[in-house]
């Protein structure tokens, strides 16, 4: 699966990169209006450090930091970009991060400055961008849920329409795009009448999702007001929840998935910030019936309830790419803001670097 997403023409899709929702006369997924954040290393300097992506280059933010580019930003802390993860930067006040972004936009518009700090993307190694303590994955696409329940000859549970369905995943499964994913072993039946066997999965599948990285802690016992959800979000990535369907089907009752979902969860290496996605805010395409409970009720502007981000998955076979699904983040029944509010509604708390998957984002033409 191509883990890179660039909704809206005139962008081209380039594997193992990220996405932007900004319209520009450019063929790169990383115009100066995007500036996503990631962690890189190079052959000449194998130390992981923070970077941003611009056109076909990675811009070494630790080098910019050493040269004093961010000294004028109130609240900016020393050596934030020299860290092996983005946690320290993400934890800065949102206003501070916004000023850093403004400075980058200003300085990197100068080609000489850009050239001084640029490293070709083709030469860098990407690292998992954040230190993550908690990973949860949702199940919030109505079409996906309808298709799955039809396959299993079951009705959609009543509670699905009252709360975003979610399970706690394993942070040990998280990896950045380009990291090999091993076909998992597990217990399953080859046919409904056969005895269970322990064997490599025969039905290894993908799930096209978005991942949401968090930038602000929430102490245990506190509950997040959905109207403040955006204050806790650092940015979005593409997420592929690798799924062993035969193992998953066998182990589901009574407690839900485990090994069927634990072999690998891949994310794109560049985190696209909410500032870069501000132009993609939109209304949800779904009518929620029954009406959401009060802690899940969005009271903000209707056209800022979710994001218009087009998604596409391709299968590459014998050098040829086949589009196998097209969908949009705004087609989820439960929005990312509602998902985040639900994550905290029992007082579990949040940590900087936590990530949650939106769940498979599908349309009526895609089963899984």
| pLDDT, tens only, 290-338 | 999 999 999 999 999 999 999 999 999 999 999 988 999 999 999 999 9
Catalytic residue among 127, 144, 259, 342: 144
Tell me: is residue 304 an annotated ligand-binding position.
Answer: no
Residue 170, token pair as written in the block? 């394993």
Task: Tell me: is residue 55 an annotated ligand-binding position.
Answer: no
* Number of Cβ within a 10 Å radius of residue 302: 10
Tell me the per-residue pLDDT of 231-278, one tens digit each, with 9 for 90 and over.
Answer: 999 999 999 999 999 999 999 988 888 999 998 999 999 999 999 999
Q: Using an 8 Å Cβ cutoff, are 206 and 313 in contact?
A: yes
CB 270 within 8 A of CB 17: yes
CB 55 within 8 A of CB 44: no
Interval 147-157: pLDDT, tens: 888 877 789 99
Residue length, the chain? 368
Work out the pLDDT band at 12, boundaries 50, 70, 90: very low
Kindly report the CATH class assigned to 135-357. Answer: alpha beta
Is 338 known as a binding-site position?
no
Residue that is written with structure tokens 């009526």 in the block: 364
> Among 16-25, 90-99, 215-224, 295-304, which stretch is predicted with the lowest mean pLDDT?
16-25
Exposed / middle / buried, residue 360 (Cβ in 10 Å: 0-12, 13-18, 19+): buried
What residue segments make up the domains of the chain, in order of their start? 37-127, 135-357
Q: Is the pLDDT of residue 162 over 80?
A: yes
Pairing relationship of beta strands 306-307 and 272-273 according to DSSP bridges: unpaired
Peptide bond into 254 cis (omega under 30): yes
pLDDT at 38 over 70: yes
Give the model confidence (pLDDT) of 74-103 as tens digits.
999 999 999 999 999 999 999 999 999 999
Calculate the alpha carbon distances from 344 to 66, 175, 231 in Å. Answer: 38, 25, 14
270 CB-contact burial (10 Å; exposed 0-12 / middle 13-18 / buried 19+)? buried
Active site residue 144: yes
Residues 6+ apart with CB under 8 A from 188: 196, 197, 199, 201, 202, 244, 246, 247, 249, 250
- Flag whether 248 is marked binding: yes
> Parallel, antiparallel, or unpaired for β 135-139 and 355-357?
parallel
Q: Is 103 helix (H, G, I), strand (E, B) or coil?
A: helix
Q: Which of 243, 290, 203, 280 is nearest to 34 (CA)?
A: 280
Give pLDDT, residue 5.
40
DSSP-derived secondary structure for 79-117: TGGGSSSSHHHHTS-HHHHHHHHHHHHHHTTSHHHHHHH
- CATH fold of 37-127: SH3 type barrels. (2.30.30)
User: In the block, which residue shows the tokens 């998953």?
Assistant: 248
């Amino acid at each position: 699966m191509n883990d890179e997403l660039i909704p809206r023409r005139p962008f081209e899709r380039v594997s193992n990169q990220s996405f932007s929702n900004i319209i520009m006369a450019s063929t790169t997924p990383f115009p100066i209006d995007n500036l996503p954040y990631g962690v890189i290393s190079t052959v000449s300097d194998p130390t992981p450090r923070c970077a941003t992506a611009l056109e076909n280059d990675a811009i070494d933010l630790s080098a910019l930091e050493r040269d004093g580019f961010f000294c004028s930003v109130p609240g900016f802390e020393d050596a934030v970009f020299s860290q092996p993860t983005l946690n320290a930067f993400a934890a800065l006040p949102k206003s501070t991060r916004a000023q850093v972004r403004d400075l980058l936009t200003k300085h990197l518009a100068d080609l000489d400055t850009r050239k001084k700090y640029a490293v070709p993307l083709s030469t860098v190694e990407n690292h998992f961008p954040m230190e993550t303590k908690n990973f949860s994955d949702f199940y919030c696409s109505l079409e996906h849920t309808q298709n799955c329940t039809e396959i299993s000859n079951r009705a959609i549970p009543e509670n699905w329409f009252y709360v975003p369905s979610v399970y706690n995943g394993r942070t040990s499964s998280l990896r950045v795009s380009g990291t090999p994913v091993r076909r998992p072993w597990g217990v399953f039946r080859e046919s409904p009448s056969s005895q269970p066997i322990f064997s490599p999965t025969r039905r290894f599948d993908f799930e096209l999702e978005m991942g949401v990285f968090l930038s602000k802690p929430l102490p245990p016992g506190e509950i997040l007001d959905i109207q403040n959800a955006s204050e806790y979000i650092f940015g979005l990535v593409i997420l592929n929840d690798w799924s062993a369907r035969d193992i998953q089907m066998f182990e589901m009752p009574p407690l839900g998935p485990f090994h069927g979902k634990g072999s690998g969860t891949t994310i794109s290496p560049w985190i696209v910030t909410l500032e870069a996605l501000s132009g993609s805010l939109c209304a949800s395409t779904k009518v929620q019936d029954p009406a959401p409970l009060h802690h899940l009720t969005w009271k903000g502007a209707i056209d800022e309830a979710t994001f218009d981000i087009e998604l596409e998955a391709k299968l590459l076979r014998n050098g040829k790419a086949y589009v196998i699904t097209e969908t949009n983040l705004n087609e989820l029944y439960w929005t990312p803001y509602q998902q985040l509010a639900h994550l905290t509604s029992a007082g579990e708390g949040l940590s900087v670097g936590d990530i949650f998957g939106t769940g498979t984002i599908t349309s009526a033409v895609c089963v899984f």
